[in-house]
Amino acid sequence: MISGAVKIPRGRLGVIIGKDGTTKREFEKMAGIKLDIDSSTGIVTVTQSDDPMLGHQAVSVLRAIGRGFSPEKALRLLDLDYRLVIVSLRDYARSGSRRMAELRGRVIGTSGRTRRIIEEITTAYISVYGDTVSILGDYIAVDYASRAVMMIIRGAKHRTVYRYLERASKEIRFRKLSESF
In a shared domain, residues 98 and 167: yes
| Mean of the per-residue pLDDT values of the chain | 93
43-96, pLDDT tens digit by residue? 999 998 778 888 889 999 999 999 999 999 999 999 999 999 999 999 999 988
Cα(4)–Cα(29) distance, integer angstroms: 17
In a shared domain, residues 174 and 93: yes
Is residue 137 helix, strand or coil? Answer: strand
Strand spans (E) along the chain? 2-7, 33-38, 43-48, 82-88, 125-129, 132-138
In a shared domain, residues 60 and 87: no
- What number is the average pLDDT over the span 99-113? 97
Q: How many domains does the chain have?
A: 2
- What number is the average pLDDT over the span 109-127? 97
At 181 the pLDDT is: 61
In a shared domain, residues 90 and 125: yes
In a shared domain, residues 102 and 20: no
At 173 the pLDDT is: 77
Residues with Cβ within 8 Å of 103's Cβ and at least 6 positions away in sequence, in order, are: 89, 92, 93, 153
In a shared domain, residues 12 and 86: no
Give residue 176's pLDDT band: very low, low, confident or very high (50, 70, 90): low
At 103 the pLDDT is: 97
In a shared domain, residues 22 and 53: yes
Is residue 84 helix, strand or coil? Answer: strand
- What number is the average pLDDT over the span 118-126? 96
Element (H, E) at 15: helix 10-17
At 175 the pLDDT is: 72
Domain stop point among 34, 50, 78: 78
Q: How many CA atoms lie within 13 A of 1 on its CB side?
A: 11
Q: Note the pTM of the prediction, 2 decimals.
A: 0.91
In a shared domain, residues 31 and 95: no
The distance between the two most distant Cα atoms of the chain, rounded to a whole number of Å, is: 50
Q: Which residue has the higher pLDDT, 65 or 173?
A: 65
CATH number of the domain that residue 13 is part of: 3.30.1370.10
Domain stop point among 53, 78, 103: 78
Give residue 171's pLDDT band: very low, low, confident or very high (50, 70, 90): confident
What is the domain range of residue 120? 82-179
Using the CB atoms, write b or e for 109-138: b if 16+ within 10 Å. Answer: beeeebbebbbebbbbbbbbbbbbbbbbbb
2-31, pLDDT tens digit by residue? 678 999 999 999 999 999 999 999 999 999
In a shared domain, residues 38 and 108: no
In a shared domain, residues 70 and 131: no
In a shared domain, residues 26 and 64: yes
What DSSP state is assigned to residue 110? G
At 180 the pLDDT is: 65
Element (H, E) at 147: helix 139-153
Domain stop point among 57, 78, 99: 78
